[in-house]
């Protein structure tokens, strides 16, 4: 299979702006799926609403484009009824952690086997650049013309504390690393979270004077460092990339299957 075999080419060129990082997330994800040799009939992608959520329209897997913040709820329903399927759940930062924050922490707590991908552009792209719980302090947004006063979540720390058994972070600049982390996340049994910093040049970039897409990628390169690297040790204010959690813990669907066996005396 080639990457294009996993695409619905009839919907291209896609709707994302020139230089939008969400396209690179799609690119990396397709390469991960291809490298794992997954059969597209075994994959279900659920998504909510947002520029990010439009990704489910472009992949030739089973796909459910649902409602804002509820991608993980729909994914839970699918996985629970058909545990043999692979669930991929890409979400925007607003989708995952504003309106969908509760679904996010509870899916993590259950350790249900699926891959949550947070396409973090630190803003609501689709609705015109309102700040999100990932924007952080002192940022400009249409809803914060005089700068934000809200602290941001740290996706990695939140996912870890909520119980996700695999947690990683990378950026759209680090595309090879993204493919590798996505592969490992998809392969992981349990709830995996991959945060991918993804540039929105149209809103976040423009309002915060971060320049065009190319320049925003330069910032990902300059402002991040690999876990365990010398650069990170010397400058802890850099954003760490890599795998933060990778543990084997009881998975929700398997635990439920055991309950069924117990309740039916093994007759099912």
Partner 1 sequence: MARLKLKEHAINREWCKGCGICIHFCPKQVLELDSMEKVVAATPEDCICCKLCELRCPDLAIEVLTDQDEKND
Binding site for partner 1 (CB under 8 A): 3-4, 7, 12-14, 16-24, 26-28, 30-31, 172-173, 175-176, 179, 212-214, 217
User: DSSP letter at 237?
Assistant: T
Nearer residue to partner 1 within complex by CB, 4 or 82: 4
Asked if 217 and 175 touch (Cβ cutoff 8 Å), the reply is no
26: partner contacted, choices partner 1, ligand TPP, ligand SF4, none (Cβ within 5-8 A by kind)? partner 1
With b for 16 or more beta-carbon neighbours within 10 A and e for fewer, the 66-96 pattern comes to: bebbbbbbbbbebbeeebebbbbbbbbbbbb
Residue 94 near ligand TPP by CB under 6 A: yes
Q: Tell me the per-residue interface mask from 125 to 154 with ligand SF4, x by CB under 6 A, - otherwise.
A: xx----------------------------
User: Contact between 216 and ligand TPP (CB under 6 A)?
Assistant: no
Select from 235, 44, 25 the least CA-distant residue to 120: 25
Per CB under 6 A, 133 contacts ligand TPP: no
Cβ distance to partner 1 smaller for residue 21 or 100: 21
| 202 within 8 A of 210, measured Cβ to Cβ | no
Q: Which helix (H) or strand (E) holds 188?
A: none
- How far apart CA 22 and CA 199 sit, in angstroms, is 8
Which residues of this chain interact with ligand TPP, rule CB under 6 A?
A: 49-52, 68, 92-95, 99, 119, 121, 123-127, 132
Which residues of this chain interact with ligand SF4, rule CB under 6 A?
A: 16-17, 20, 22, 51, 121, 125-126, 200-203
């Amino acid at each position: 299979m080639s990457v294009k075999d996993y695409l619905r080419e009839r919907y291209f060129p896609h709707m994302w702006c020139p230089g939008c990082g969400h396209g690179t997330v799609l690119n990396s994800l397709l390469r991960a799926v291809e490298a794992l040799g997954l059969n597209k009939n075994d994959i279900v992608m659920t998504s909510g609403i947002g520029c990010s959520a439009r990704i489910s329209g472009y992949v030739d897997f089973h796909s459910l484009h649902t409602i804002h913040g509820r991608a993980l709820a729909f994914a839970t329903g699918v996985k629970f009824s058909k545990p043999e399927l692979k669930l991929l759940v890409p979400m925007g930062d607003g989708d995952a952690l504003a309106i969908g924050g509760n679904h996010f922490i509870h899916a993590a707590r259950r350790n249900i086997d699926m891959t949550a991908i947070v396409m973090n552009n630190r803003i609501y792209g689709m609705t015109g650049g309102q700040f999100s719980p990932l924007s952080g302090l002192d940022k400009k947004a249409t809803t914060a013309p005089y700068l934000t006063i809200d602290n941001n979540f740290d996706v990695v720390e939140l996912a870890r504390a909520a119980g996700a058994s695999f947690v990683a972070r990378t950026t759209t600049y680090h595309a090879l690393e993204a493919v590798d982390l996505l592969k490992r996340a998809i392969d992981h049994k349990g709830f995996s979270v991959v945060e991918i910093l993804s540039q929105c040049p149209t809103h976040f970039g423009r309002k915060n004077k971060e320049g065009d897409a190319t320049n925003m990628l330069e910032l990902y390169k300059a402002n991040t460092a690999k876990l365990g690297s010398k650069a990170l040790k010397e400058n802890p204010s850099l954003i760490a990339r890599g795998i933060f959690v990778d543990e084997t813990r009881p998975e929700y669907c398997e635990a439920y299957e055991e309950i069924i066996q117990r309740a039916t005396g093994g007759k099912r």
